Structure 1
Amino acid sequence: MRNTIGYAAVVGQVVVLAAGAPLLTGWMRQVRARLEGRAGAGVLQPWRDTRKLLRKEPITPVGTGPAFRAAPALLVATTVVAGALVPLLSTDTPVSGHADLIVVVALVSLGTLALALAGLDTGTAFGGMGASREMTVASLVEPTLLLSVFALSIPAGTTNVPAIVSGAIHSPARLASPAGLLAVAALAVAVLAETSRIPVDNPSTHLELTMIHEAMVLEYAGPDLALVELGAQMRLTLLLGLLSSLFVPWGIATGLSWTSLVVAAVLFAVKVAVLGAVLAAAEVFWAKVRLFRVPELLAGSFLLALLAVTASYFLNGAS
């Protein structure tokens, strides 16, 4: 019975991630539309777009190689595996022992690398430009992700993400410490950059010279484009879920019971919806920063993460 509930928790996390990601994107677009005085296309519009793309004929540009063809599936696969490892619903699953911080960040980075290689594989100017910019951003974002969560791992004594979340549930004072506040600020900026949101990138832009993520996927069409869009939506949901699990962990199941899993799923949807609404509202009032200012912003978030690690080390050592 215990193993059955544990595997159900893993499957539930993947299902919630895959099914809820387009809904989260539609919800954020709807919030933004309302704040801008527009009606909006509706929360289900991303699902309609995905269905339309899946019905179209796949087109592969002449001259592209395996990197271009494999990137969409690899992006979705790495996000699904990371979603199974990260404690979105439960900290006690059969795969919890493998959910190391470095493994999770490596899976996210692998999806980024796959898209960058796909952009280079097309041989187009925009694809190469977007891949270059994406890797520049990633070189600053990935260390920030590692350090911000590592700051929380010091008092927990482990880099296992479920153990960190479980420790935060039982010792909430860690989250209100200076290290916790610095870490949440650093991680929030890293999530914005990793998911190509304002102020680092504009997901709805049509100006080629300012594109980062969109420039890499201009050559995709049909089912491949549907996978790319779904992968990007899942990464946004995953990272917002990781942010909520680390800093608002209450409601996540620490034991194995059907009731706790259902409650955790409902609370996860609420927390991610609130974070998505806050992000969408902020994007209405924020402007995209100039491309040459993006490294300064990300370097600032890395400094916050480094300060969080330093503060956590000294505070944990003093205690």
Structure 2
Amino acid sequence: MWLVAAGQAALLAWLAPLVVGTTRAVRARLEGRSGGRAAQPWRDLRKLLRKPPTSPTDAGMFFIAAPVVLMSTSLLIAATAPFVTTVGVAAGADVIVVVGLLLLGTAALALAGLDTGTAFGGMGASREMTIAALVEPTLLLAVFALSTRVGSTNLGAIVAAGASDPARVFTPASLLAAAALAIATLAETARIPVDNPATHLELTMVHEAMTLEYSGRDLALVEWASAMRLTILLGLLANLFAPWGVATSPQWVWLAVSAAIFMAKVLALAALLAAGEVYAAKLRLFRVPELLAGSFALALLAVLASYVLA
């Protein structure tokens, strides 16, 4: 089953740039621009991977290690979370471990932003950790709303239970959990209305402010890992609340079908995300905590309602 886990990680690594490219292409079409193709991020990554990285004079080990840590945590989640199958190593991730790995990658990048000694890096790191302090508990509570019905925090068990007996797992409270997880996904992946991935204005940057000093292969790893985190969270949102199509057997035929269904679900969510961004505006930075506090309240209500309806 380790081969299945490795294949799942490779699938998400290959799919991640296409997800980002789909969001850009859909947004461009809706805004009346020609835009690039969905595969354009792959071309950008290939170009960056050929270039040697450079480091600021005052950068230390945190700046050097952050791209590797960010990519490693993303690959580990991609290999062990139930994206394609609910059996074996590829469905052995616990929600607490997954959220911890996401936070580890976020903290590594924030430390890298501080390590450069630049004003932009410190500003972005401060904003990122403020957002992370509100997002990570929301991610946990949103999944806890489902785990209380299953009796396990293992993501594979939750997805398997949702696919086999949806009436036992899903309640009206699940809609609150889904909304909370969707908002947390936008914040965790630096999307509108929390952040704008297409801007480099110093007053609005969060994620981009921490990556300004990266170049070459290091920048490719950071951008690739960020795309994988978006794909991971969209995949979790799709499989936790619409688990149909996930393979419950290690047979290769079912795994191939499940992989195709997973890609379709994630790309559909990416297109929906891009369409929503066209009609939404970025919030002022001081209004972001209010949005995230609202998502936390939704997740908390979902957990309480799940206990009541149990």
TM bin (shorter chain): over 0.9
Partner AA of 1:78 in structure 2: T
Distance in structure 2 (CA, Å) of the matches to 1:174 and 1:151:
12
Q: Say what the alpha-carbon RMSD is for the aligned residues.
A: 1.0
Instruction: Indicate if the aligned counterparts of 1:151 and 1:312 stay in contact, CA closer than 8 A.
Output: yes
Of 268, 281, 289, which residue of structure 2 is paired with 1:274?
268
TM-superposed deviation, 1:174: 4.7
Instruction: Indicate if the aligned counterparts of 1:169 and 1:250 stay in contact, CA closer than 8 A.
Output: yes
Q: What is the aligned partner in structure 1 of residue 72 from structure 2?
A: 77
Aligned pairs (5 A) from 1:1-319: 6-94=1-89, 96-97=91-92, 99-174=93-168, 176-316=170-310
Distance in structure 2 (CA, Å) of the matches to 1:108 and 1:286:
26
CA displacement, residues 223-244 of structure 1 (integer Å, 9 cap, x when unaligned): 1000000010000001000111
TM-superposed deviation, 1:111: 0.4
TM-superposed deviation, 1:40: 1.1
Distance in structure 1 (CA, Å) of the matches to 2:278 and 2:233:
21
SS in 2 for 1:23: helix
TM-superposed deviation, 1:55: 1.7
Partner AA of 2:66 in structure 1: A
Partner AA of 1:124 in structure 2: T
Instruction: Indicate if the aligned counterparts of 2:195 and 2:206 stay in contact, CA closer than 8 A.
Output: yes
Instruction: Indicate if the aligned counterparts of 2:30 and 2:278 stay in contact, CA closer than 8 A.
Output: yes
SS in 2 for 1:208: coil
Stretches of structure 1 that go unaligned for 5 or more consecutive residues are: 1-5
Name which of structure 1's ranges 197-206 and 46-55 shifts more when overlaid on structure 2.
46-55
Stretches of structure 2 that go unaligned for 5 or more consecutive residues are: none
Instruction: Indicate if the aligned counterparts of 1:85 and 1:104 stay in contact, CA closer than 8 A.
Output: no
Instruction: Indicate if the aligned counterparts of 1:174 and 1:180 stay in contact, CA closer than 8 A.
Output: no
TM-superposed deviation, 1:255: 1.6
SS in 2 for 1:209: coil
Q: Taking structure 2 as the reference length, what is the TM-score of the superposition? A: 0.98
CA displacement, residues 52-77 of structure 1 (integer Å, 9 cap, x when unaligned): 11122210100111000000011000
Instruction: Indicate if the aligned counterparts of 1:9 and 1:89 stay in contact, CA closer than 8 A.
Output: no
Q: Taking structure 1 as the reference length, what is the TM-score of the superposition? A: 0.95
TM-superposed deviation, 1:101: 1.0
